[in-house]
Amino acid sequence: MAISMYSASVPVFTRMLSNLSHFLDKAEENAVSRKFDTAVFFNDRLAPDMLPFKAQVIIACDAAKLTFARVGGIDVPKFEDNETTFAELKERIAKTIAFIKTVKPEDMNGKEDKTVTFKAGPVERTLSGEDYLKHWSTPNVYFHVTTAYNILRKNGVPLGKIDFLLGKV
């Protein structure tokens, strides 16, 4: 079976966001066992010029949703970006996954050549639908999921490669 725009987006983003939710579960368990509030993770970052943990989760969700708006032309849900707890971050991830599961193959397939123009900071970029998916949105989702993972690892949360690749097994 050939790889389609649908198969390269819906299951991939669903898996990565599910794994991200799993990271939050493990971080909560770790915080309970070490007797501290998970809120300490919210503003932690890997470097002074990087966005904090909370932003990594928000952007991973938004980057996935934007793929279906920009390539599929689908109206996507908007969230307030006001999460203050792990439960609220997990709810955001769950709502994003629920939305992604409504995307149908015909929403994405055949959109390889669609022109996608978007702003990235002050710069406007234009890519084909396929290039947007393969070279912008997928790396963007992975970058923010990976950065969230690394912030938690840096703080002693016992996550490993299997958690990243498979999530909850």
Range of the domain at 51: 12-166
Structural domain includes residue 3: no
CATH of the domain at 119: 1.20.120.450
Separation of first and last alpha carbons in the chain: 26
Structural domain includes residue 104: yes
* Interatomic CA distance for residues 153 and 160, integer angstroms: 8
Give per-residue pLDDT as tens, 52-100. Answer: 999 999 999 999 999 999 999 999 999 999 999 999 999 999 999 999 9
* Count of other CB atoms within 10 angstroms of residue 57: 30
pTM for the model? 0.95
- Please give the tally of structural domains in the chain: 1
Structural domain includes residue 156: yes
Structural domain includes residue 1: no
